[in-house]
Structure 1
Amino acid sequence: MLKQNLQFKLSQKLSPQQIQLMKLIQLPTLAFEQRLLEEMNENPALESGKDEEEVYEKDELDNNDEYDDYEGSDNIEADDINIDEYLSDDETPDYKLQSNNYSDDDDDRESPFAAPVSFHQDLINQLNTFILSDEQRDIAEFLVGSIDDDGYLRRDIQDIVDDMAFTQGIYTDEKMVEKMLHIIHELEPAGVGARDLQECLLLQLKHKTPTEYVDLAIDIIGNQFDAFTKKHYDKLLQKYGISQDHLKKTIHEIEKLNPKPGGSFTGNNKVTENIVPDFAIRINDGELELTLNGRNAPSLHVSKDYQEMMQTYKDSRDKSNSQKDAVQFIKQKLDSAKWFIDAIKQRQETLFVTMNAIMHFQQEYFLDGEETSMKPMILKDIADMVGLDISTVSRVANSKYVDTPYGTKLIKEFFSEAMKNDQGEDVSTLEIKKILQNTIEEEDKSKPLPDDQLAEILKEKGYPIARRTIAKYREQLDIPVARMRKKI
């Protein structure tokens, strides 16, 4: 049975400009520059302001009221467009009146890109030094292609045999594949082509010059690998009847090995992240100074050619249908350009005021650089200070970096929850983690401190924290359990 009823619903509808602004705010500097180039390629009415001679008046760009309800140019007749709103009589363009106090080093900086030989190609090149038949070379190259970026062959030999038969038409057996794998084990870096960590370490040890410590290390990895990984040093001392010093030097030989031989290859084609700080904080005469990266403040204006098109349409007496269609298109591009320019200005203001609030909130830390000086700070604290929504502050913090006198930091690292110390004062969890990390670094590595003892030590220092909280913080700091921290 069909029924009709009326229902009132209150909802918030974001304008296209608000959506565009939110997307721009969350972009870091490099991504913002890419987005800027895309917009300029898509919209010919938007141009860089460096070499132009005319631009929209600032008061026109800041006047957004007439666009709040814009639904698309198709709903507006050409005769209803006020051409004067798109023309400027100002002889001095607005962008020439703006100052840019950022360093020239911030502008037009390009990152060099290297084109090295890839990890796998280097292995293929090394294979060329071996005398192999065509079949053997095909098998060896297939094995090289099956090695991952860490340098491991993580596939079963039988699976490789079947895969070569089905995909390459190469019919062989496990014995031949094993033979070719032994050749790959002779390649550099040592350990490449290993099927697990144990084999990887053994291959590297066998490449080293034999000594009594290397020979013992080969025996330990080959026959006592489980006891070694679990750091059961007492069992190893008893098994081999050696002194602690002898075992310590043997373990030192093992610790010098690389568990990921592929990762050490200088030509590895992994993506390298290029971080460009969005802000810079400097200390000048005891005062903090904040600057926004100049690459976030481009000079943009609306194309002069498009303004002239509007003027031509205004001056023409006989307006044809094709001219009316053209002015609809021009208006759409001009509106889009004005929206984008305004969104960039709002982005600059939002980024600056948000980071400025964070800088003043954490002023003590930025002046002395001590992590223990970091105050508890959550998104709501900054949102209340600047009068923005929490989601906006989150967009700024999650993807932006700031260059400080103590290194380049991700902004979200300055945020932390609060905990009470024994004096009832709020302290940052970052401060507690730093103290925990220092305590573990200072412990006797022959007798590492378990979590319950760490909890007692922090309690004595004025931080009453439960053992499970210690375990959580330790995992966040990527610190292993006490048994795995043991050294002899």
Structure 2
Amino acid sequence: MLKQNLQLKLSQKLSPQQIQLMKLIQLPTQAFEQRLKEEMVENPALEGGKEDEYEADEFSSDDYDEYDEYDNDRIEADDINIDEYLSDDEIPNYKLQANNYSDDDEDKTMPFAANVSFHQNLIEQLNTFILSENERDIAEFLVGSIDDMGYIRRSITDIVDDMAFTQGIYTDEKTVENILHVIHQLEPAGVGARNLQECLLLQLRHKTPTESVDLAIDILENQFDAFTKKHYDKLLQKYNISEDQLRNAIDQIEHLNPKPGGAYDNSNKAVEHVVPDFAIKIRDGELELTLNGRNAPELHVSKDYQEMLQSYKHSRDKSTAQKDAVQFIKQKLDSAKWFIDAIRQRQETLFVTMNAIMHYQKEYFLDGDEAKLKPMILKDIADLVGLDISTVSRVANSKYVDTPYGTKLIKEFFSEAMKNDQGEDVSTIEIKKILQTVINEEDKKKPFPDDKLAELLKNKGYPIARRTIAKYREQLDIPVARMRKKI
């Protein structure tokens, strides 16, 4: 049985302009500049830089009725008021705002040399070895099996089978083992190892033999489990050596690189320059906030497009082609207007939000002491500026501020609150800093377990549970007490 009924439904739908604004807000300065370039390529009605004679205004929404670009109804060219798209204003409003970035400033960039990849470097090293064609193929396959950390995570049997099925290279495990010994001679030392133990041993064997190096090799070969669990008493008894001898051997091991491939990648990676989105300075005891001038570029509507509209306005015989052109021009002009307006709104949103954060954490920005960072969550700032929490999150994410104490990631200023023994709210950042200090000052021969750390922080006025200590310790990337032990 068919039924027909009427149902009212209220839903919220973001306009394309709102979506565009949200995407622009979350972009840091360098990504924002790239987005500007892309928009100028896509929209010929949008131009950057200064104009010689006159510039178009912002096409205020009060001057004409906006339309939905997704509406299927075609707007006739005769219904478009051309005068609304033409303006005699000399300078648009958004260009009158303070800008701390001048066109006269040189945008100095640093050229970077083209890097050779980690695997390509290993392939080039193979050229120094005398290998047959088949051995060379096997060696290159083994190099291709090395991950970015420098390890081969697959068994020899799997590698032999894979070469046969995918490369048509038929060999046996013994031959692959022999070629693997060649790989182990490549730099950086330890590359091509199948596990951590083998990686450390390869590096030690590259060193000049000494008493401590030989002892370290013996420990890794025969007492690796006792070493990883830091059973130093067992090692002292096993080798009948002094603490100084064991300490020297352990020192040799601790100076090895457990990720040889990672060290190569980090040393050859192009340096990433952070461009702060904001700058905070102290003038006469007061905080002064500025938005990076590169966030407010000079954009205007193309004069050529305005001239096209002017020509259409004065032409008597309007052809179908001309009407279609006006439709296209109107669409591009509207898109340019929306984009320029989105830049203005982005500029205002960034400044207002960061200004609220700056005043909320005023004591910290005046002094630079992290202990003075107040507990602050996204909702605190959202309530102050009257914006949605998601908008504040977009501003804080991936944005940097240049302060008198260095360039900081904005989201690092946010933290949860905890009560101290005085009943006052303190930032978890402050507690983590104190925890870090306590661990740094502990006796490494007898490091504090988590329950002892909880007791020490309680004595300092921070009653925290042991499980919370464990959570903060993991967030600070600090191992458990047993792994912090040193002889």
Match of 1:458 in 2: 457
Unaligned runs of 5+ in 1: none
Shift of 1:49: 2.6
Change (3 A) 1:124 1:419: same
Shift of 1:362: 0.5
Q: 435-444 vs 114-123, which deviates more? A: 114-123
Q: Superposed, which structure 2 residues align to 1:220-235 within 5 Å?
A: 220-235=219-234
Match of 2:207 in 1: 208
Unaligned runs of 5+ in 2: none
Q: Distance in 1 between matches of 2:249 and 2:207?
A: 13
Q: Superposed, which structure 2 residues align to 1:90-169 within 5 Å?
A: 90=89, 100-102=99-101, 108-110=107-109, 112-169=111-168
Change (3 A) 1:349 1:267: closer
Is 1:432 aligned to 2:414, yes or no? no
Q: Distance in 2 between matches of 1:283 and 1:169?
A: 69
Shift of 1:198: 0.3
Match of 1:30 in 2: 30
Match of 1:238 in 2: 237
Identity of aligned residues (%): 80
- Residues 108-151 of structure 1, C-alpha deviation per residue, up to 9 Å, x if partnerless? 45453321222112111211111111111111111111111111
Retained in 2: the 8 A contact 1:73–1:331? Answer: no
Match of 2:394 in 1: 395
Change (3 A) 1:231 1:406: same
Q: Distance in 2 between matches of 1:135 and 1:181?
A: 14
Match of 1:304 in 2: 303
Shift of 1:244: 1.1
Is 1:55 aligned to 2:29, yes or no? no
Match of 2:410 in 1: 411
Shift of 1:277: 1.6
Q: 341-350 vs 138-147, which deviates more? A: 138-147
TM-score (norm 2): 0.95
Aligned length: 487
Amino acid in structure 2 at the alignment position of 1:33 = E
SS in 2 for 1:394: helix
Shift of 1:97: 5.4
Retained in 1: the 8 A contact 2:94–2:344? Answer: no
- Residues 343-389 of structure 1, C-alpha deviation per residue, up to 9 Å, x if partnerless? 00100110011001101101111122111110011111111111111
Change (3 A) 1:409 1:98: closer
Q: Distance in 1 between matches of 2:243 and 2:434?
A: 31
- Residues 130-187 of structure 1, C-alpha deviation per residue, up to 9 Å, x if partnerless? 1111111111111111111111111111111111112221111111111010011111
Change (3 A) 1:53 1:446: farther
TM-score (norm 1): 0.95
Q: Superposed, which structure 2 residues align to 1:166-185 within 5 Å?
A: 166-185=165-184
Q: 86-95 vs 363-372, which deviates more? A: 86-95
Shift of 1:414: 0.6
Change (3 A) 1:385 1:379: same
Shift of 1:283: 2.0
CA-based RMSD: 2.1
Q: Distance in 2 between matches of 1:326 and 1:104?
A: 34
Q: Superposed, which structure 2 residues align to 1:259-338 within 5 Å?
A: 259-265=258-264, 273-338=272-337
Shift of 1:275: 2.6
